Structure 1
Amino acid sequence: MITVPRGLVLGLAALLSGYHVMLGVYSLGVPAHPGPPLVALTLYSLATVMSLWPTSPMRMPLWLSFFSLAVCVALPLLVGSQLNGADPSGGYASGYATWYVAAVGTLMTIVATRKRQVVAWIGIGFLVVHTVVWAGPAALVGMGVIGSVVWVTIAVTLSRGLARAGRDARQFARAEREATEWQAAQEARLYERQVRLEHTNRLAVPMLRRIVARRGILTEEERQECRYLEAAIRDEIRGRQLLNDPVRDAVMAARRRGALVTLLDEGGIDDIEASELNCILNELAAAIAQTSADTIIARTVADGGATAITVVGLRSSDPSVSALGLDSPDDEVDLWLEIPRLRATASHALGAGTSAARA
């Protein structure tokens, strides 16, 4: 989108307003008394400077718009009162003495551009009524009032069009961001599904081929291996970010010695960077490998606190109960570990947590 520098617009408006002031000064000899036109020139200059101040916001303050409206009401009254003695249809209506007509149109155009359209319409409407009462309807063309009305109309139309275009551009930009985020999320999910599927295939395909080759007739060791593979596949679904190769190896080793291992990822570590997450998972793998608990539960902390993963290891007094995946009232805590998010404290927390749990 091509934009015009604000300084250029302000400079052109200042030059045009200064031209009206020059015409007013040049025609000071025409009015009956120069005092009221001088006051009008002063008020117009002050209102123009305040309206074109470079650091002012785009939307004109309400008090400033009312001040500009008051100036536009005062200009015809101050200057026109000194021209009443002459015939309006004679030199004054078409000469420089009616400089205030273009001045009012310029000032109200500035007001309309700065998003005070209602005030601009009121100001230009007063100019039209004053001209009709003072010099008749025919003077609307001869004195340039129609031109001032056209300026304000164009300013209002352009201002509304630009505001609408700005809103549409913001909506399109927001929709584009949302579409990009949605596409990125879908691609991430697709990539994760592909990774999980590839890993599952690597785990299950050899056993599935063996099952097909033996027509479903498996030994007890092979059936137990299928149970391990089923648990590993379940980990890929429920564990998600809790898994890396060391964790997988440690979990499989724990299951082969008869432990019941449960991994639950509730989304609490999705925002952790890959390098830090890998260190945290290595701490988890070490904790699972070091404990001799019969039941091990590792889950992420979803409250966004300082802890990333909690690990609980229970030792059952009745091995048959543990094998069924049940908790006995006589279960003892063999491991209680909270792995923090910060890598600097992870190793210390692991040692302290493990030793405290065993104690």
Structure 2
Amino acid sequence: MPNPRSEDRELDDATVDLFGLGSSTVTRGLWAFAVVYTVVTIAAGWHIRSVHSWAGLVAGLMIFAVATLIVQRTGGPRFPISAAISAAVLAVCGLAISLWSLPADSYLQLQTAPPVSAATIVFTLLAVHGRPSFAWAGAVCGTLIAGLWGIAIGFGFVTGAGNTAFCYPVLVLAMLFVLMARPLAERIHVLRERAVAQAATEAATAAAAAERGRQLSQLERRARPILSEIVGGHEFTIGEVADVRLTEAQLRDGIRAPAWESDRVRDAVWQARRRGVSVLLLDDGALSVAPDRDLMHRLCDVLVDELEAVDSGQVTARVLPPGRSLVASIVVNTGPTIRRIEYGVGGEMSEHSPTVPVATSDE
């Protein structure tokens, strides 16, 4: 049963992705704001001669940059509370330092616009990232600090706090966007799941069609000439009957053990059966779940070598079911001796020669 909290986190991620907050476009926009911030600060504070004031304004800008960087770059399934607290506190501190660095004798209302706008951007990003409570708490703290600053320079609490008034409509709009984006994120989540399921179904259908095509091609190439001769009333010799039986066994191998399907294995099995060796190929799907071409190539090489080395007895090659520690086994039973070659999931090989015959059906 799906976890409601995990689903909420996925939807929060989808909402954030919907706004593209980590995209290069947003990054370029923030850099453009930083340039505008600097230009407006310099133009509005052109008459400020205090080195301490300019140092405070620069420090405020750097603090805003760090806060914005934290909000934009912090990833994870949900925006961490520690990062949200850090960003909100830094934004409030940046606003406080910037406001208190403005001298009262050369104050212009335009001078408060850059730091208040920067703090508003940080709080808006926090709200969109799923931490609206921290954004609103930071905005309220920023208003209180602006009001205290207004009292300190003699303009009064209301005038000072009024400089942050435009922060709240922006936060309200951000919250509305998030609320509208959440249903859209749910739809995106559902559509994504449907797309993945449809892609898996199409892939399975294509694979099944390809397998059927391969088997029909083999049937057309190998069985049709024999069937045509049967329909034509051809009288088969003993050698031809043996070849027909070998062809039938080869067709069964292609259906029963597709993992062993290769020209070298096919030829080696054909020749071994001609010599009277009983060959059984099985495929229970371990290499279909986790294909490993190098391992399958090595397995085919070993099987070919074993088939070429025996003139009688039985050879059983099996790809085991998925989920086991072993991937495949090759058992060579020549009567007096039985050898068992096993391959693990990591490709490691082990060989056993038990003194007591091993029943291949228990593999």
TM-score bin (small chain)? 0.5 to 0.7
CA contact (8 A) 1:102 1:144 kept: no
Q: Give the direction of change, closer, same or farther, for the CA distance of 1:99–1:233 in structure 2 (3 Å limit).
A: same
Aligned residues: 311
SS at match of 1:4: helix
Distance 1:188 1:105 in 2: 57
The more displaced of 296-305 and 200-209 is 296-305
Shift of 1:236: 1.0
Q: Quick check: which has more Rg, 1 or 2?
A: 1
Counterpart of 1:273, as a letter, is R
Distance 1:250 1:204, change over 3 A: same
Separation of aligned partners in 2, 1:13 and 1:155: 21
Q: Deviations over 1:20-54 (max 9, x none)?
A: 576468589xxxxx9xxx78x86665343122148
Instruction: Output aligned runs, 1:148-159, within 5 Å.
Output: 148-153=167-172
Gap regions ≥5 residues in structure 2:
1-19, 75-82, 354-363
Query: Of residues 330, 333, 338 in structure 2, which corresponds to 1:310?
Result: 330
1:118 aligned partner: 133
- Which stretch has the larger CA shift, 228-237 or 162-171? 162-171
Q: How many percent of aligned residue pairs carry the same amino acid? A: 17
SS of equivalent to 2:337? strand
Of 261, 265, 288, the residue aligned with 1:243 is 261
Map 1:230-269 onto structure 2 (within 5 A): 230-269=248-287
Return the alpha-carbon distance in structure 1 between the equivalents of residues 253 and 173 of structure 2: 68
RMSD, aligned α-carbons: 5.7
Give the letter for the 1:106 counterpart.
Answer: A
CA shift at 1:12, angstroms? 2.1
Which of residues 35, 47, 62 in structure 2 aligns to 1:49?
62
CA contact (8 A) 2:87 2:122 kept: no
TM-score (norm 2): 0.58
- Cα pair distance change 1:176/1:21, threshold 3 Å: farther
Per the alignment, do residues 245 and 158 of structure 1 end up closer, same or farther by CA in structure 2, a change over 3 Å counting?
same
Report the alpha carbon displacement of residue 191 of structure 1 after superposing the two structures with TM: 2.4
Q: Which residue does 1:292 correspond to in 2?
A: 311
The one of 37, 42, 60 equivalent to 1:16 is 37
Does residue 190 of structure 1 match 2:218?
Answer: no
- TM-score normalised according to structure 1 size: 0.59
For 1:46, the aligned partner's letter is A
Classify the secondary structure of the residue corresponding to 1:52: helix
Unpaired runs of 5+ in structure 1?
A: 29-33, 84-91, 316-331, 355-359
Determine if the alignment matches structure 1 residue 63 to structure 2 residue 63.
no
Q: Is the 8 A contact 2:88 2:122 kept in 1?
A: no
Residue 71 of structure 2 contacts residue 87 of structure 2 at CA under 8 Å; is this kept in 1?
A: no
